[in-house]
Amino acid sequence: MTHAFRTTLVIAALGVAVPAGAQSKREMQMMADLRMLQEQSQQLQVSLTQINEGLTQTLKALSTRLDEQSNATRKALADSNLKIDQFSSDLRVVREGLSDTNVKIGQLSQEVEALRLAIPQFPSPGSTPPPESGTDPAASPSPSSTPAPPPAQTSALPVGVSPQRIYDTAWADYTAGQWELCISGFDQYLRQFPRSGQADLAQYYIGECNFQSGKHQEAVQAFTNVIVNYPKGQSIAPSYYKRGMAFEALGQVDRARESLESVVKMFPDSDAARLAKQVLDRLNRGRPK
C-alpha cells in the first residue's frame, strides 16, 4: 500500500469522526436545554401552586369577613327592628293613653258645663230696684206685689248630672221603646251640649224615635237637622236613608227617591246605601210605566 493511499484513509477517517463528535455536542446541548426547561416548568408549577394556595387563603379570609359582616348586619337589622317594634308599641301605648285622656277631658268639660248651667243665676246685690216713693220698705207686700215663683225645672234628671248619664238614659229609653222619653232625653242633651261629639247621634235618634212612633213629618225634620247641622258626623248616610223612608211613609215618593238616591251617590259603600238601593228597586218597580 502506498503512502498516498494511507494518507487518504486517515483523512477520510478523520472526516467521518468529526461530524459524529459535533452531533454529540448538539445532543448534549439539547438535553441541557431540555433539563433547564423542565426545571423552569417545575418552578413555574410550584409558583402556580403557591399562588393558588394564596388565592384560596385570601378567598377564605374574604368569605369569613363577609360572613362576619353579614351576621353583624343581620344582627344590627334585627336589633333595629326590635327597637322599632318597641318604639311602635310605646307610641301606641302613649296614643291610647292620650286618647283616653282626651276622652276624660271631654267628659270632664261636659260635666263642668252641666254644673255651670245648673247653678242658678242670682241678681247682684246692687241690682235690686229701689222702692217707690211713699212706700214703706218695712211694710208687708201686698198680694199683687208678691214676686212670681221661679220657672219650673225643665230637666227630668237631677241637677248637675253628667252629659254621658243624660245620653245613656235617653239611649235606654230608645232601646226600651219609650219613644217620648227618648225624644225628651236626647233633646235635653242637645240643648245642653250642642257641640259634643255625640250630638249628631242624639239628633239622629230623635228622628228614629219620631219615625218609630209614627211621627213621620217630625222624623223628616230631625233627619234633615242631622244632614244640615252635622255634615261631617257619622250619622249622615243613615239620616239620608231614614229620611227617604219617612218621605215614603208620608206618600211623598219623589222626595223619598231623591233622598235615597243621595245616599247611594254620596256613600256608595255604606250599609245605608245598600238598603237604599233595595228600596229604590221596590219604588221603581211600582212606578207606573
What's the rounded Cα separation, in Å, for the pair 240 and 6?
Answer: 148
On whether the CB atoms of residues 241 and 227 are closer than 8 A, the answer is: no
Domain endpoint, select from 81, 99, 117: 117
Residue owning grid cell 248630672? 161
Convert the pLDDT of each residue in 157-205 to its tens digit: 444 567 888 999 999 999 999 999 999 999 999 999 888 889 999 999 9
Low-confidence spans in the chain with pLDDT less than 50: 118, 120-159
- Taking the C-alpha atoms of 31, 33, 35 and 40 in order, what is their torsion angle to the nearest 10 degrees? -170
Q: What's the number of domains the chain is made of?
A: 2
The answer to whether residue 145 sits within a structural domain is: no
Does residue 132 belong to any structural domain of this protein? no
H or E, element range at 284: helix 271-285
Q: How many Å apart are CA 224 and CA 241, to the nearest integer?
A: 11
Which residues form the domain of 33?
10-117
Same domain, 79 and 185: no
Q: How many residues does the chain have?
A: 289
Q: How far apart are CA 241 and CA 72, in angstroms?
A: 61
| Cα–Cα distance for residue pair 157/46, rounded to 1 Å | 106
Domain edge (last residue) among 56, 89, 117: 117
Say whether both 30 and 82 belong to one domain: yes
Rounded to whole angstroms, what are the CA distances from 119 to 8, 95, 113, 128, 173?
A: 163, 36, 10, 20, 27
Does residue 27 lie within any of the structural domains? yes
pLDDT digits (tens, 9 = 90+) for 99-124: 666 656 665 665 665 555 545 444 44
Alpha-carbon gap, residue 70 to 86, rounded angstroms: 24
Position 116 scores a pLDDT of: 55
Residues 276 and 170 occupy one common structural domain = yes
